[in-house]
Amino acid sequence: MAKAVYQVTFKLKKGADVEAFLDAAQKLNDGYISRQKGYVSWQQLNDGDTWMDICTFESMEDVMTFLDNAQNPDELALAFYAFINLNSCVSRQYTIARSYGK
């Protein structure tokens, strides 16, 4: 079965403390996301204005279960979301067709 990715782009709220945001992300990853079935990795990218989160899972089924579970955010997720302009979020799910690298 092919690995799958949940990808979301977003902007932080004006004046958001980036280091505090990244700390909240680390806590969310350690306390919740990394414990989800099929979790492989979470990468956070930034171009100076827009952020992109890429969460990789073992299968699309795992991605969909993760998204279903995310409908009821816990306190770690709420602390993370507090930094994000939620109206700026755009998300997609992908199946990895092929991967290159070491």
Quickly list DSSP for 9-74: EEEEPTT--HHHHHHHHHHHHHHTGGGSTTEEEEEEEE-SS-EEEEEEES-HHHHHHHHHHTTS--
Q: Is residue 66 part of a domain?
A: yes
Number of structural domains, the chain? 1
Is residue 34 pLDDT above 90, yes or no? Answer: yes
Over residues 67-86, the pLDDT tens digits come to 999 999 999 999 999 999 99
Q: Is residue 14 part of a domain?
A: yes
Model pTM score: 0.93
Q: Which CATH number goes with the domain that contains 56? A: 3.30.70.100
Q: Is residue 76 part of a domain?
A: yes
Per-residue pLDDT, averaged over 27-53, amounts to 97
Q: Is residue 85 part of a domain?
A: yes
